[in-house]
Amino acid sequence: MAKPAILTVDDDPAVSRAVARDLRKQYAQDYRIIRADSGQEALDALKELKLRGEQVAVLLADYRMPNMTGLQFLEAAMDLFPRARRVLLTAYADTDAAIQAINVVDLDHYLLKPWHPPEEKLYPVMDAMLEAWKAAPDRPVADVKIVGHRWSAPSYAVRDFLARNMVSYRWYTTDDAEGQRLLTAAGLTEADVPLVVTPEGKTMVAPTEAELAVQVGLTTTPASDFYDLVVVGGGPAGLGAAVYGASEGLRTVLLEERATGGQAGQSSRIENYLGFPDGVSGAQLTDRARRQAVKFGAELLTACRVTRLAVEGSARVLHFEDGTTIAAHSVILATGVSYRRLTAPGLEQFHGRGVYYGSASTEAPSCSDQDVYIVGGANSAGQAAMFFSRYARRVHLVIRAPNLDASMSRYLIEQIASVPAIEVHPCTEIIGADGDEHLERLTLRSVDGSGERTVDSSWLFIFIGAEPRTDWLDGVVQRDARGFVLTGPDVEGGADHAALGRDPYHLECSVPGVFAAGDVRADSVKRVASAVGEGAMAVSLVHRYLVEGQ
């Protein structure tokens, strides 16, 4: 972090230089001395410091300045740095006005011109001001800062993207004093949120994920235009493939549309993964796998949306949304699945404003002492119920089945049964949602159509179904009726493979050199361990494909 700043402003350049000279002589070792020749110039400097998350210890302003007096400047500066100590530099004739200003801008001290010798008249005052500031300083903020509305879907999307990519950030609502100060520093209003401020002080209003990724330091463009292996998707299968591919010497790049980890990365606790007897969060597992892949030399690209796969001779070419392409000898499809949308009336309009798909762990602290509803009966829903039970007054798990036995692991069923704050609602579905600015009420009924009721809740988390979202492979790679990728013996025809004198390998698609691993593959086992295993197995088949000829 930069040194805390001492800012001095005077419209007389000679006086301004003299004050700054004396301050540097005494305090330059521990403080950065900033000089301005007008109130507006000083305010602009403070706004830049605020956006960069830096500290300001003391403000020293001349009383008589044109356009903006020292008092007007200090009053405006209070909105940006309320903890900075404020000193007015004034002539003897203006002492009465300076005394009156103590009540106007909460002035800490005033200094008479001339202040020489500084050892007697300037430094003792500054020492006292700095000691007082050290007792309650502005805290430096090196994180990304976000200002937004509590129930704003775009604000939630920004927070969720950063959280899932493990980018540290500070969240301020437009009602927070610090949020207001950041908006002021950026020259914006509450209508302009979400505002994102990088540690370097760059501001973005409602950025896209691609814009946000670039500014927070995530890699979004490949270093080369041709690779041995391109892995599409950064869930457990994709990360497993990237680790094994790079560790075995393949030039490997992983492409992820949103954030590595996939659905598993959103899991609050995975307790049945080999080697973690005390469990591990999806975020922790993802972070370790990501660091492991990078250690072996894999490139990991974020905010890369692939729109098409093409076969051009022995190359497999992937087309991006922005019109660019990347090519490789081989491709592993590991795009996983997405949660299916509930179509009940009212739900779509509250997406990001009370209705969330996946765990949305960033919202957990806001659920304190409130009722939370979770839809789904698989492990992901059970893990979310356990997680939110630490915050919410009560967690309601809504399932269409008569019980959890057929869809959830036994250890999770037993854990849920042991938590009094979790209530399971069997044979129940959600048929509607209502509210004004955000979700406020849900309508539930029994699956047989009876027992309809309305409940108050601002929180609904949905974990149902599995959609592979493989439309971009249409006409190139064979899929089943639900969109899952066919591999190995399930591939029909196989004329392209017949030309190579062989059948498709176990995880190979209808296009030679293109493989599928994890949840996107038809009839795969929907578990983290099996996805990682398939990612590793796919790499061994890639080697076989490259060695035996394309």
Around Cβ 175, how many Cβ atoms within 10 Å?
10
Residue 91 has a pLDDT of 78
Question: Torsion angle, CA of 262/263/264/269, rounded to 10 degrees?
Answer: 140
- Is residue 322 pLDDT above 70, yes or no? yes
Residue 358 has a pLDDT of 83
- Is residue 102 pLDDT above 70, yes or no? no
Answer yes or no: are the C-beta atoms of 484 and 521 closer than 8 Å: yes
Between 350 and 550, where is the model more confident? 350
Which 3 state secondary structure label does DSSP give 332? strand
Distances in Å between the alpha carbon of 286 and those of 160, 293, 305, 426, 524?
Answer: 16, 11, 20, 33, 21
Average pLDDT over residues 228-243: 97
Taking the whole predicted model, whether its pTM rises above 0.85 is answered as: no
- Is residue 550 pLDDT above 60, yes or no? no
In 3D, which of 246, 235, 298, 278 has the Cα closest to residue 531? 235
Residue 63 has a pLDDT of 87
Cα 436 from Cα 251, distance rounded (Å): 52
Structure tokens that stand for 197 in this block: 């401020």
Which 3 state secondary structure label does DSSP give 126? helix
Answer yes or no: are the C-beta atoms of 435 and 350 closer than 8 Å: yes
Cα 467 from Cα 482, distance rounded (Å): 8
Tell me: the pLDDT tens digits for 281-307? 888 899 999 999 999 999 999 999 999
Cα 87 from Cα 69, distance rounded (Å): 13
Between 142 and 20, where is the model more confident? 20
In 3D, which of 124, 114, 134 has the Cα closest to residue 15? 114
The contacts of residue 292 (CB under 8 Å, 6+ apart) are: 243
- Is residue 143 pLDDT above 90, yes or no? no
Give the strands of the sheet with 203-205, arranged side by side: 169-173, 144-148, 195-197, 203-205
- Is residue 43 pLDDT above 80, yes or no? yes
- Please report which residue ranges of 115-257 form alpha helices under DSSP H: 118-121, 123-135, 153-164, 177-186, 209-215, 236-247
Answer yes or no: are the C-beta atoms of 231 and 212 closer than 8 Å: no
Residue 21 has a pLDDT of 95
| Region of 443 on the Ramachandran plot (φ > 0 left; ψ -120 to 50 alpha; else beta) | beta
Supply the Cα-derived Rg of the chain in whole angstroms: 30
Choose the weakest-confidence range: 137-141, 223-227, 363-367, 534-538. Answer: 137-141
In 3D, which of 224, 242, 225 has the Cα closest to residue 233? 242
The single-letter DSSP state of residue 191 is G
Residue 418 has a pLDDT of 96
Indicate the residue type of 500.
L
Around Cβ 437, how many Cβ atoms within 10 Å?
12
Cα 139 from Cα 127, distance rounded (Å): 20
| Region of 44 on the Ramachandran plot (φ > 0 left; ψ -120 to 50 alpha; else beta) | alpha
Residue 114 has a pLDDT of 80
User: What does the mean pLDDT of the chain come to?
Assistant: 91
Around Cβ 518, how many Cβ atoms within 10 Å?
35
In 3D, which of 25, 30, 45, 1 has the Cα closest to residue 133? 30
- Is residue 453 pLDDT above 70, yes or no? yes
The contacts of residue 301 (CB under 8 Å, 6+ apart) are: 219, 220, 221, 222, 253, 254, 255, 256
Between 529 and 280, where is the model more confident? 529
Structure tokens that stand for 469 in this block: 């979202």
The b/e string for 338-366 (b: 16+ C-beta within 10 A; e otherwise) is: bbeebebebbeebbbbbbbbbbbbbbbee
Residue 97 has a pLDDT of 67
Strands 195-197 and 144-148: antiparallel
- Confidence tier at 104 by pLDDT (50, 70, 90): low
Tell me: the pLDDT tens digits for 155-210? 999 999 998 888 889 999 999 999 999 999 999 999 999 999 999 899 999 999 99
Average pLDDT over residues 5-30: 94
CA 514 remoteness from chain centre: 31
